[in-house]
């Protein structure tokens, strides 16, 4: 039997995307038991989903607006949801955006995919803040982009390295399509780009006429002071697109996120969205929940819960991890980034960690060139109780001690 | 100010997709009143949405499975929803498919977009049963495919014309990527491809090693006898992909559809799905609704309601339309296709029809070359009551009479 998919010349793609990683079950511990805890996935804690309140909002939305919530909707998204989102951005960040500057998407993963789809042709150069979220590395592979890593340090993306890279590319006659960055509570490191760095990155973007894709999925999970203004808020000439998501502040299963930016860009990017518009049903439920005032209270609850988890992980790392190991102290988000003592390879540790009932993301997954990430580990503290987190870190410390 | 989207060389796309058409409001009648009725859009009647039952299903789903319904899900879709869908296909059509042969999508529009994304490179030839749904014409433009029309008649796609086209392309060294067809209750004509034609089309596909994309959105809206077996059901060597949707049998606002086909093809196509998996929330609500047995009863109710609408439109056409006009008598679905008396141009009639409070889709929108469609009108009978439909047809007949 012939293979018509092959015969008709289907393009080849690297499979795997955020959903694949998130949905994958961590492998079983010996005896078939699930690991005591997984630090591998940046998924929200299901114990924190407001299921009852969403059920009530869903009932209200369907009984009051069923004729619209169950019908086809606008390509840009539900106007009420957009209005609520923009009002929130105005109140909290002083951002003044028009409805045409917002596209509702199926999570920020779709927003990133749409930007790539609209902008990237095979072989195009894309600047990638590195280490990076594996989902965006996969997306760039899928669109056959040439990912050019730009390093970061404890203050975020390094403007000197960015300038050097831009100058080198300009000399080679290469024009990068965009810069992808997660400036706030970065995935995978938890690092926040300083206000000074943000200004410097934007100044370089203006000088080199560069488009920036700012992934802002974690902004609202802020444990201490509010984060610095977003790149979009600092942008003066329409060169920043910013994604956000309800996945981290409400529920990932709704598949609702957004893309903000210049109206012309939003219009062009929405033209490649081929799903008939993001679910009016999920949008009405979310808008109803938010309009009832529940969203801010829920975010406050989440921030407290995730802060406790972060604190538990930091405490456990201090207590249990060996000298020579280093880690970040995130002011928000879901992640801590660990640098192992010299000579250790996180990929080699993973099977032993799993055997000990704990799971993590090896750093290699966060670099376009996997050879670069051997010493690193991404730990997500978003799942599990503080006690489970402390237990998991103790197990992981045991695995590391045994490996040295 | 520079335009970074332009500067960075964004690809150009034709905007517009099913959602755009569905969401567009028909223009106002004189005096700002809405038209009495629109026959322009193939959208379900919102009066038929089971809002209360879905609210109850939503509550059950969230209270019993909130930890999963609100979490990231599998890329292929919610296993329960897939299992229910495959059981239904087994019961009703004798189709025996494995879970890996089904991808849950955000409506069948996303399924079609994913197939195009995975398969079509700019300039590729795609065979298009014509007249065609404007959404697929736009999708092919967006992926820069070369749409090659293959005509149909009252028995559906014409196998002789298909063979001629395939032979001509083969002689030119052109290998079409796929054939797009809506064999059952076609959009826009309402015509159903006969069983004999289906066998002939499949035989040609085998001979020319052609992939078929079967859009099967309307199969369950069957007014009389069940429709002939689908091309997928008749396929013997894995060359048919079939799309379906909950939009017509439950609610478009859920944005839930599916793609069926060989497991290898489904896997490859799912790799270009960049939205983190179709909404677990909407999927749980739908699976809960269907598991309670409500889906079959609801479809039976829909079939009765849409049959009444079809009958009302056919009666009104008989009564009011002029000699020389012809129209199809669909055995299912949402559409009647009208051929106007010679010399009339449906595009020219549209403004006058709107002024008279009635709206339709001009035939030009259904042809890759708009010059081909001037004499045709697509009438959707899915919205409005039988009385409103009869009134709308009478108004349209008046406009046609005045134009002759």
CA gap A37, A20 in Å, rounded: 19
Say yes or no for a CB contact (<8 Å) between B5 and A262: yes
| Per-residue pLDDT at A34 | 53
**Contact: A52, B75; criterion CB under 8 Å:** no
Q: Provide mean pLDDT across the span B225-239.
A: 97
Q: Report the pLDDT averaged over residues B199-228.
A: 97
Residues in chain B with CB shorter than 8 Å from the CB of A275 are 19, 105-107, 109-110, 113, 255, 275
pLDDT class of B371 with cuts at 50, 70, 90 = confident
pLDDT in tens, B380-397: 999 999 999 999 999 999
Per-residue CA distances from B283 to B222, B254, B257 (Å): 25, 8, 10
Q: Kindly state the tokens that stand for A235.
A: 């942008």
| pLDDT reported for residue A36 | 74
What pTM was estimated for this model as a whole? 0.92
Top pLDDT among B5 and A373 is at A373
Please state, in angstroms and rounded to a whole number, the distance separating the CA atoms of residues A301 and A400: 34
CA A329 to chain centre: 18
Who's near A310: CB < 8 A, 6+ residues apart? A223, A330, A336, A381
Question: Residue B36: its pLDDT value, please?
Answer: 74
| B52 has a chain A CB within 8 A of its CB | yes
pLDDT averages per 10-residue partition of chain A, 404 residues: 42 33 39 70 96 97 96 96 98 97 97 97 97 96 96 98 98 98 98 98 98 98 96 97 98 98 97 95 98 96 98 98 96 98 95 96 94 94 96 97 92
pLDDT at residue B370, as a whole number: 81
Would you tell me how many other CB atoms lie within 10 Å of the CB of residue A240? 26
Say what the ipTM of the complex is.
0.91
Q: What are the backbone dihedrals phi and psi of residue A22, each rounded to the nearest 5 degrees, phi first?
A: -70, -35
Chain A residues closer than 8 Å to B113 by CB: 274-275
Bigger pLDDT: B1 or B159? B159
Q: Confirm if A297 and A40 have CB atoms less than 8 A apart.
A: no
Contacts (Cβ under 8 Å, ≥6 apart) of A100:
A76, A263, A266, A267
d(CA B217, CA B178): 18
User: With an 8 Å Cβ cutoff, is A63 touching chain B?
Assistant: yes
Contact indicator for A358, A26 with CB cutoff of 8 Å: no
Read off the pLDDT band of B20 (50, 70, 90). very low
Residues of A in contact with B275 (CB under 8 A): 19, 105-107, 109-110, 113, 255, 275
Chain B residues 188-247 with a CB less than 8 Å from chain A: 209-211, 237-239, 247
> What pLDDT, on the 0 to 100 scale, is given for residue A26?
40
A224–chain B nearest CA distance, Å = 26
Q: Are strands B257-260 and B102-105 parallel, antiparallel or unpaired?
A: antiparallel
CA angle B210, B213, B215 (to 5 degrees): 155
Supply φ then ψ for residue B104, to 5 degrees: -80, 130
Taking alpha carbons only, the member of B229, B262, B263 closest to residue B93 is B229
Max Cα distance, chain A (Å): 63
Tokens for B259, please give them: 């793609």
Instruction: Please give the backbone phi and psi of residue A177, each rounded to the nearest 5 degrees, phi first.
Output: -70, -35
The alpha carbon of residue B383 is apart from the nearest alpha carbon of chain A, in Å, by: 12
Residues of A in contact with B20 (CB under 8 A): 75
Could you give the CA distance from residue B345 to residue A333 in angstroms, rounded to a whole number?
60
User: Is B74 in contact with A23 (Cβ distance < 8 A)?
Assistant: yes
CA distance B35 to B395: 11
User: End-to-end CA distance of chain B, in Å?
Assistant: 53
Asked if B339 and B376 touch (Cβ cutoff 8 Å), the reply is: yes
The radius of gyration computed from the CA coordinates of chain A, to the nearest angstrom, equals 21
- The radius of gyration of chain B's CA atoms, rounded to the nearest angstrom, is 21
Helix axes A107-119, A134-142, angle to 10 degrees: 30
> Given the DSSP bridges, would you call strands B361-362 and A179-181 parallel, antiparallel or unpaired?
unpaired
Does the distance separating the beta carbons of A51 and B66 come in below 8 Å? yes
In chain B, the residue whose alpha carbon lies closest to the alpha carbon of A105 is B275
* CB burial readout B390-403, b (16+ within 10 A) else e: bbbbebbbebbeeb
Assign residue A3 a region (left: φ > 0; alpha: ψ between -120 and 50; beta: otherwise).
beta
């Amino acid at each position: 039997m012939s293979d018509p998919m092959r015969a008709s010349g289907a393009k080849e793609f690297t499979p795997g995307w955020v959903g694949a990683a998130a949905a994958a079950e961590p492998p079983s511990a010996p005896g078939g038991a699930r690991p005591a805890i997984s630090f591998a996935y940046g998924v929200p804690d299901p114990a924190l989903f407001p299921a009852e309140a969403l059920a009530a909002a869903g009932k209200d939305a369907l009984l009051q607006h069923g004729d619209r919530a169950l019908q086809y909707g606008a390509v840009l998204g539900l106007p009420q949801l957009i209005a609520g989102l923009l009002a929130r951005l105005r109140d909290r960040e002083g951002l003044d955006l028009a409805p045409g500057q917002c596209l509702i998407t199926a999570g920020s993963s779709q927003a990133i995919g749409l930007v790539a789809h609209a902008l990237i042709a095979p072989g195009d150069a894309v600047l990638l803040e590195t280490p990076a979220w594996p989902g965006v590395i996969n997306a760039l592979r899928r669109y056959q982009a040439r990912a050019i890593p730009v390093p970061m340090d404890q203050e975020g993306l390094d403007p000197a390295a960015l300038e050097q890279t831009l100058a080198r590319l300009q000399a080679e006659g290469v024009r990068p399509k965009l810069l992808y960055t997660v400036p706030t509570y970065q995935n995978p490191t938890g690092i926040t780009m300083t206000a000074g760095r943000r200004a410097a990155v934007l100044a370089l973007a203006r000088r080199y006429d560069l488009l920036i894709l700012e992934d802002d999925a974690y902004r609202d999970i802020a444990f201490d002071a509010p984060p610095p203004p977003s790149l979009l808020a600092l942008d003066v000439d329409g060169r920043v697109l910013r994604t956000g998501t309800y996945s981290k502040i409400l529920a990932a299963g709704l598949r609702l996120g957004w893309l903000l930016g210049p109206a012309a860009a939003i219009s062009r990017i929405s033209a490649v969205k081929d799903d008939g518009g993001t679910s009016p049903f999920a949008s009405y439920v979310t808008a109803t929940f938010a309009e009832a005032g529940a969203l801010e209270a829920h975010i406050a609850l989440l921030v407290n819960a995730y802060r406790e988890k972060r604190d538990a992980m930091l405490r456990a790392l201090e207590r249990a991890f060996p000298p020579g190991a280093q880690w970040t102290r995130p002011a928000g988000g879901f992640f801590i980034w660990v640098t192992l003592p010299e000579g250790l390879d996180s990929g080699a540790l993973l099977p032993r960690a799993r055997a000990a009932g704990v799971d993590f993301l090896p750093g290699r997954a966060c670099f376009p060139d996997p050879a670069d990430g051997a010493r690193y580990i991404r730990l997500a503290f978003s799942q599990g109780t503080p006690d489970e987190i402390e237990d998991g870190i103790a197990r992981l410390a045991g695995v590391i001690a045994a490996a040295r």
